Amino acid sequence: SRVSPSAPPLPEALAASEAEGPRPAPCKMSAAPQLIWECVRKNNAFLRKCPNMPTMSAEPGNLMGLNSSKFSGIAAAKVLDIRSKKTGDKETIVLTTTHKKGSRSQRPGSRVLTTGLKKQPKKGLAQIDKVMDAGFYRLDLLAMAKAKYNKVRASFKKKKVVVKSRRAGK
């Protein structure tokens, strides 16, 4: 039986260098996602704890904001996130994924790829499908990603709360 999620591909430099035998010996960083998760799970700068709540995590790549290896934005092989981003006056919906190239994992700036999502639900959900379903990217999060997309869209429709003062207008 398969275990999910699978690991990042070998860094490019390895593939480029002379391969010994059928598979180049994996002399890569000690960067196994599980190992990093173990180092980071109890103690990191993004942990947010409050009483009677599950432990949450504030890192930018975390779909649910929960501190768990499944959703982690720092210690996961493949990162997935959908959130809103304010660019100037407008708010956009942004999809975050890990870059396909293994070498990018060493570059903090380009470790993670952000693409915008259309705000039209039909198109936006189709985009998510294209990345996840067709691209076989984190299928275990597909349903949650779509749900979050809808929630983010819903959050854009802000109703102005009119507070009627009891004192005024009598």
29 binds other proteins (CB under 8 A): yes
Q: Quote the CA–CA distance of 142 and 133 in Å, as a whole number.
A: 8
For other proteins, which is the closer residue by CB, 1 or 165?
1
Q: Do residues 97 and 82 make contact, with C-beta atoms less than 8 angstroms apart?
A: no
70 binds other proteins (CB under 8 A): no
Q: How far is CA 108 from the centre of its chain?
A: 15
Task: Tell me the closest approach of the beta carbon of residue 17 to other proteins, in angstroms.
Answer: 4
101 binds other proteins (CB under 8 A): no
13 binds other proteins (CB under 8 A): yes
Task: Tell me the closest approach of the beta carbon of residue 41 to other proteins, in angstroms.
Answer: 9
Total residues at the site for other proteins (CB under 8 A)? Answer: 45
Q: Which of 53, 87, 88, 108 binds other proteins (CB under 8 A)?
A: 108
Q: Do residues 81 and 63 make contact, with C-beta atoms less than 8 angstroms apart?
A: yes
For other proteins, which is the closer residue by CB, 24 or 144?
24
28 binds other proteins (CB under 8 A): yes
58 binds other proteins (CB under 8 A): no
- Under the rule (CB under 8 A), what is the footprint of other proteins? 1-7, 11, 13-14, 17-20, 24-36, 38-40, 43-46, 59, 74-75, 77, 103, 105-109, 111
